[in-house]
Copies of this chain bind each other. A is one copy, B any other.
Amino acid sequence: MNTENFGSSERLVTAAYVRQGAQGRRGHELLLRALLEQGKCPEDGWDESTIELFLHELAIMDSNNFLGNCGVGEREGRVASGLVARRHYRLIHGIGRSGDISAVQPKAAGSSLLNKLTNSVVLDIIKQAGVRTVTNCFVVPMATGMSLTLCFLTLRHKRPKAKYIIWPRIDQKSCFKSMITAGFEPVVIENVLEGDELRTDTEAVEAKVKALGAENILCVHSTTSCFAPRKTFLPLRTSTAPPNLVSSVNLVCIGVLHPDHLLKKKKKKTNTELEMFSYLSSELKKLADLHNERLLDTPHNPISLAMSLKNLDENNDVAVTQLGSMLFTRQVSGARVVPRGSVQTVNNYTFKGFMSHANDYSCAYLNAASAIGIKKQDVDIFLKRLDKCLKASRKGKEKSVNEICTSNTGTEQCEDQKIQT
- Knowing A63-B24, A73-B335, A100-B173, the reply to whether A29 touches B5 (Cβ < 8 A) is yes
Chain B interface: which of A77-85, A186-194, A201-209, A287-295? A77-85
Decide: B333 and A71 in contact? CB cutoff 8 A: yes
CB neighbours (8 Å) of A81 from chain B are 45, 48, 51
CB neighbours (8 Å) of A71 from chain B are 332-334, 371, 374, 378
Known pairs A24-B63, A82-B82, A106-B333. 17 more at Cβ < 8 A? A1-B61, A5-B33, A5-B36, A13-B104, A20-B63, A20-B331, A25-B61, A26-B409, A27-B68, A27-B421, A45-B80, A56-B56, A70-B379, A78-B371, A98-B173, A99-B173, A100-B173
- Knowing A22-B61, A26-B413, A409-B22, the reply to whether A174 touches B68 (Cβ < 8 A) is no
Q: How many copies does the complex hold?
A: 4
Decide: B369 and A74 in contact? CB cutoff 8 A: yes
CB distance from A410 to the nearest CB of B (A): 6
Decide: A70 and B381 in contact? CB cutoff 8 A: yes
CB distance from A254 to the nearest CB of B (A): 14
Does A401 lie at the interface of the complex (its beta carbon under 8 Å from any beta carbon of B)? no
6 sampled A-B residue pairs with Cβ under 8 A: A12-B113, A24-B65, A68-B331, A78-B374, A99-B175, A142-B146
Does A274 lie at the interface of the complex (its beta carbon under 8 Å from any beta carbon of B)? no
Within 8 A of B (CB), among A387-421: 406, 409-410, 413, 417, 420-421
Chain B interface: which of A128-136, A177-185, A210-218, A308-316? A177-185
Contact with B along A118-159 (1 / 0, CB 8 A): 001000000000000000000011111110011001001000
Closest B residue, CB atoms, query A101: B143
Decide: A373 and B17 in contact? CB cutoff 8 A: no
- Knowing A22-B61, A106-B17, the reply to whether A174 touches B3 (Cβ < 8 A) is no
Decide: B74 and A25 in contact? CB cutoff 8 A: no
CB neighbours (8 Å) of A3 from chain B are 410
Does A249 lie at the interface of the complex (its beta carbon under 8 Å from any beta carbon of B)? no
A23's partner among B2, B30, B140, B413 (CB-CB below 8 A) is B413
> Bound complex: CA of A99 vs CA of B176, how far in Å?
8
Does A280 lie at the interface of the complex (its beta carbon under 8 Å from any beta carbon of B)? yes
Interface residues in chain A, defined as those with a beta carbon under 8 Å from any beta carbon in chain B: 1-6, 8-9, 11-14, 16-33, 36-37, 39, 45, 47-53, 56-57, 59-76, 78, 80-83, 87, 90, 96, 98-101, 104, 106-107, 109-110, 112-113, 116-117, 120, 140-146, 149-150, 153, 156, 172-177, 181-183, 227, 250, 280, 303-304, 325, 328-329, 331-336, 346, 368-374, 377-382, 385, 406, 409-410, 413, 417, 420-421
